[in-house]
Structure 1
Amino acid sequence: MRLLRDDALNSANARLGTRFWIYPQPPFIPGYEQPDRVWLSIPRDEIGEGPSDLFMYVADPLYDKRPYGLAGLPPFDGARRAPVRPGPDRHFDNIDPTSRPFLAIHAYACVRFVLDIWQSYLGRPIHWFFNQSFPRLEIIPFADWDNAQAGYGFLELGWSDVDGILRPYALNFDTIAHEVGHLIMLSETDVPTAISPDGDFFSFSEAFSDCVSLISFLHFDSAIDRLLRRTRGNLLLYNELNRFAETSPERQIRLATNFRQMSAVTHEVHDRALPFVGAIFDSIVAIYHRDLVANGCADSRLLDVDIRELARDEFDTFRQATADAFSIKPLYFKLALTAARDAVGAALATALRTLDPNTLRLDQAANAVIAAADGAVAELLEENFAWREIIGSR
């Protein structure tokens, strides 16, 4: 009987999920030298060595691999490193984060972590757009290439050159989340067949993927805690956040705190994406701000001003009030930020299925996000998309 009870207990524990280490920011960034231990929703008995599961697998080349292109697609048929095995408890948090095998574990964990988030927002599984040809996503944790890319059946990660030091993208959550964002968008909107010449498919793809990176980053408790401590809860003070972002290691926040409007962008797809990313972040900040006021953590007058145009004396007043409240009630700030994150993330995810990739324009995407949101959240999204000149004022 004891053996049966132990077996039942082990089976129940296996369904709780699987532990991994993930770096919210690359480990060479000050303040992020140590990874976070995370629980992924997939049970231990559904993950194999590699790691691998029914939807993805890691193929780690033994020798240098050139990137996939028009002449080549998965599966990788060259010599591979031995697949990484879990620990005795069948979790994957037993591997030294400084070891070579950890690249495979970290790349897999980041992809699965992002999928957990966005499947939760969608309320359903994400089925790969390439699943008629390849049932599983192939993850290449290290290719001999100074870039990273996601494509038809694959995600492959090269390296970046930082001050002459080559650093693998497999340890860069931001890069991986961005590339998974492209895969999610294509899987939800479908692949375009005849893109309109005046469309914004590629710009929206970059904007959506940057938003996936930003919102997924805000799912790390340590990242939220560090961000709020660093700013004393001052995310609602746009000028201060922008100054903070100029020198902060949180790349996702730096990218999102921009003042770009459509009248000032070029036709380059990444530049054209910036106003959309900015509007999404503006809306997260505005919802966060509204909740802080409702909970007595910020001056109610802040609801009546444009936080992008605060005078210095107003700025100091609101900053001190918020900092004082943060020192007393930090949990309210964290709850407000996570609620704002989820309200905007859910609207962004829900909007995808309503978009036609062939005729997609940024104003159509913005209106779809607004339509997917509830009440006051929709109003704030509409206001911020209008300020960015993505949609007209109403």
Structure 2
Amino acid sequence: MDVIPRYFSKRKLLDILPAWMKSSATHQGLMFGGVALISLVLMALVTFFYVDHELKEQNYDIVKASLDRAKGLESELDDEPIEDEEILAMLASGFVLAGILVSVFSVVLVTVMTRISQKRIKRIETVLNAVAEGDLSARTNVKYTYNDLARISVSLDDMLSRLEGTVAAMSDISVNIAHELKTPISRLRHNLLALRQDAVSISSTPNNAFFVELDRALEDSQRLASIFDALLRIAQIESGARRSRFVMLDLNNVVDTVSEIYADVAEDAQMSLISEKHFLPLMIQGDRELLIQQVANLIENALRYCPPGSQIHLRCGENLKTSQAWLEVEDTGLGIADEHKERVFQRLYRVDKSRADGGLGLGLSLAKAIAGLHYGSITLSDANPGLRVEIAIPIYHL
């Protein structure tokens, strides 16, 4: 049987309190009022006991002197044993001692209250930073609205829960749309290919304009199919399902594979691909296929946007401070302006929307999803000139 009924629980009590009693200003006023009251009581008690102690000593001296004189012993008995100056000195000493104790108590109380408030503010700041980095699952985990900071924390958690649900719903909708449209687009492309074959077989003198438009429709259908394939792949990666395929692998081997594939491609584009491996194995837990695709996307971006004569550097190494392996793709092209560095990770976002370079605007989105799948991160920075893309992945320690 509960000693305290349910309706007297902490949460029920906090819920029935009016809002003004749960504000920080009210709490501070109550705290200072409590400190003042405790200070007065403490000063009175200390003064009382101190003066009482001194008076008892004076009384003991008077009684002792009286007994000695009654026995015929010589004893000095002051006509005024308790002087005004002594009383004032005792009172002053008592107040000074009480003041010191009250000051220490006030400092300790204010320090504790300040540390509690700073801890709550730091927690809110941590959650906001996590959300800014894209982690909508971060929460303050505050349950009771007992003051302003707690009320803000609860409101923040509620807002993030709704936002996370909305983003998840939008992601599901986009995935469902991509999944539903993939089949008709594939069928459309198949029909266009069949139409082109029939047109070639029927017409002995093909209409150039007709075939140009038909080829353009085939290219657009292929582009749409590629976009939907990439969107579905990103959704699959972000769900974490591919972690079941993680194996131990050496990041140096990923660099070797990508370098071998794209060295000739870079040469054909009048560029050079320079790879640098770490002198020791960089063992990580990961999906080899996805990591190769991630690095390949970064190399292809550099090949697409850099002018002839550019150099592309592919490196990997280890950060001993963070126990992370890093992989870096750096080029000497035009780079990306600072205002676009965060937005380029958004799906279908392109810096120059008027440029028809064949890009889908999904390469960096896919690279970020793969980095997140491996509990890592991806960052962009200036190479002066050019762009530097760095991927960090935790190293597996035996």
TM-score by length of 2: 0.20
TM-score by length of 1: 0.20
Larger Rg: 1 or 2? Answer: 2
Bigger relative contact order (CA 8 A; separation at least 6):
1
Report which of the two has the higher share of helix: 2
